[in-house]
Amino acid sequence: FNAQIDSGSSDLVIPGSTLNNYSLSQPTYDIKGKTPVISGITQSFYDGTWWTGNFYQDVVSLDGPRASAIFAVMTKQSSTPVTNGEDSQGLMGIAFDSLAVSPLTVVTAMVQSGSFKSDAIGFRGCPATSDSPSVIDWGNEEKNLTCTQNGAPLGWAAVGSKSYYNLNVKSVAVAGKDITLPTDWQTSDTSIIDSCTTLLLLPSAVFDVFVAKIKATGELQAAGLSSTDVDDFLYSQAGLPMDVNYSKLPEISFSLDGLNGEIITLILTGRGYIQGDGTGYFYFPVASQDTSNVVFGSIIYDSFYVVMDRGNGRVGFGPGCDCEK
């Protein structure tokens, strides 16, 4: 199964043979002769999609590591599918077990069996413009991925609670100047790192300042875009061909609560937030949202080495693909 990694859930969820809105030419789990461990479960997601199914226990292999775990098999899903078989064939949850239905999640089973050396997962994400492969490091064992001499990330951010990977963003700056954050900053929704969200989602007050600074450089027009193209690129995620000079673009930075009172700062340069698809087209995977928090989507995995450390309740960040800072 080509399952999508989901840091916003904790269970492995894969398609059964009766699943609707799924390409049945793709893999499904055969439940014939098997007895469910848990029956009649329905789960929904933030985007309105949902699934119904049962939980079974079997041996799960993650390209090498193996362990007996309890996972979900979907029998029905929403009209907008959780998984369609073409883009993905299930979800592999890696959040904390407090979010799980399974009493023995795949990650926990791997740790308990010794298949993972630690309860942590490292991600070396590489954009399409890089020749280097992206890597998922189950158990966070490949210390050469960190690009540091001691084999550890450059900084650890504290996770607010062992559920989602919540991060406390203390301040946001564009071109080195702090932005005035909304008065209700992170009161109803905490900031979060979420692998299943493609975009970097910013409150409108932050997004508007950021986009204004990008426009003010004139670099997108210098890269060959018309005024209409610039708006389509920045506000609608339109993919456009351009020859952009990254050094002319402003940085956006996020100061996060670290461990033991420390503050760590993530800096996204133009190369991090304007990304190519490898065919000459470029995208701006950043958008505005109504809530007063930050959602660090998969753009972050293309810009930093990231370690989701469940065992110690923290997220590590280091230099990105090809050891770029």
Letter string b/e over residues 198-216, b meaning 16 or more CB atoms within 10 A of that residue's CB:
ebbbbbebbbebbbebbee
What is the rounded distance in angstroms from the CA atom of residue 50 to the CA atom of residue 80? Answer: 9
| Residue 278 scores a pLDDT above 70 | yes
Find the mean pLDDT for residues 136-148: 86
| Residue 151 scores a pLDDT above 80 | no
Written as six digits, the tokens of 183 are: 């008065």
Find the mean pLDDT for residues 260-276: 93
| Residue 149 scores a pLDDT above 80 | no
| Residue 311 scores a pLDDT above 70 | yes
pTM higher than the cut 0.75: yes
| Residue 98 scores a pLDDT above 90 | yes
Written as six digits, the tokens of 190 are: 């905490």
Find the mean pLDDT for residues 145-161: 83
The pLDDT assigned to 325 comes to 58
Half-sphere exposure of 4 (CA within 13 A, CB side): 21
Amino acid identity, position 150: N
Find the mean pLDDT for residues 84-113: 96
The pLDDT assigned to 78 comes to 97
Residue 129 pLDDT class (50, 70, 90 cuts)? confident
Q: Give CA separation, 157 vs 93, 120, 137, 171, 172, in Å.
A: 20, 14, 19, 14, 15
Written as six digits, the tokens of 267 are: 């800096």
| Residue 130 scores a pLDDT above 90 | no
The pLDDT assigned to 295 comes to 97
What is the rounded distance in angstroms from the CA atom of residue 52 to the CA atom of residue 19? Answer: 9
What residues form DSSP beta bridges with 177?
174
User: Which tens digits make up the pLDDT trace of 157-209?
Assistant: 999 889 999 999 999 999 999 999 999 999 988 999 999 999 999 999 999 99
Higher pLDDT, 94 or 318: 94
**Chain-wide mean pLDDT for the chain?**
93
Find the mean pLDDT for residues 21-34: 93
| Residue 143 scores a pLDDT above 70 | yes
Give the percent of the chain with pLDDT over 90: 82
Give the percent of the chain with pLDDT over 70: 99
Q: Cα 296 to the chain's mean position, in Å?
A: 7
Residue 31 pLDDT class (50, 70, 90 cuts)? very high
